[in-house]
Amino acid sequence: MTVADYVAFAVFVIAWVTYSWLTAGSGARFFPRLSLNRAMAERRKHWIYNSLRRDLKMIDTQILAGLQNGTAFFASTSIFAIGGCFALLGATEQVEAVFRDLAFVAYAGRTAFELKVVGLTFLFGYAFFKFGWSYRLFNYCTILFGALPMMHDTNADRAAAEAAADQVVRMNAIAASHFNSGLRALFLSVGYLGWFVGPYMFMGMTIFIIVVLTRRQYFSEARLAIMEANKH
């Protein structure tokens, strides 16, 4: 491990923490431009409040089931990725032989390679716990949604109905936040793979991933579509 490796890893951690803080954490209020995630959080509220105006909620339950299934898919993917990392540790000798023959790879030895694989394993483990918790929260959200009053009960006590809807909205937003954190870890794991080539590739890929994610959050057509919908 060289000084460049430590610098690259520090850049990776700082970029991850700063991006998360600005887009999903308390730092979001310091950024003048509304992110796509925050704009969608407002649309979640509109969706749940709109469900109070109808007794038939099959569409809503299908949406919630879709959210759970998507979360379960990424949780399973993270488990497979963790298994791949352990398999990679078991094949260190073969990988070492391949890396030594690649001129563009800055191979730093077996110990450094194993440390990088362990770090990648922790990254996928973090993503799995985020997806797993998000799946459970979406399950709780479904239960809370099932407790929403029917239309005649809503009309009789609007304040109580809106309080119940706010619980669903908050639980749904928290579940989405953990899902986004897990997805962010998977995206950044692509940048982490650059470390196996060299520290400068690691820094370059990390910065590239952050730029792509920032563009999607603040300057994408998806964000523009949501902002235009919020004007009406």
**What does the alpha-carbon distance between residue 36 and residue 28 come to, in Å, rounded to a whole number?**
11
All structural domains of the chain with their residue ranges? 37-187
Residue for token pair 């998507």: 70
Q: Give the pLDDT score at 101.
A: 64
Q: Which pLDDT does position 74 carry in this prediction?
A: 93
CB burial string 196-226: b at 16+ within 10 A, e below: bbbbebbbbbbeebbeebeebbbeeeebeeb
Mean pLDDT by 10 residues, the chain (232 residues): 86 91 71 79 87 86 90 94 86 71 64 85 94 94 90 88 91 93 93 86 92 89 78 56
Name the E strands within 48-143.
none
Contact (CB, 8 A) for 168 and 143? no
Give the model's pLDDT for residue 44: 87
Alpha carbon 108 to its chain's center: 31
Q: Give the pLDDT of residue 13.
A: 93
pLDDT at 117: 87
Backbone phi, then psi, for 49, in 5-degree steps? -65, -35
Burial of 182 (0-12, 13-18, 19+ CB in 10 A): buried
Are the C-beta atoms of residues 44 and 169 closer than 8 Å to each other?
yes
Return the structure tokens found at 197. 């080539």
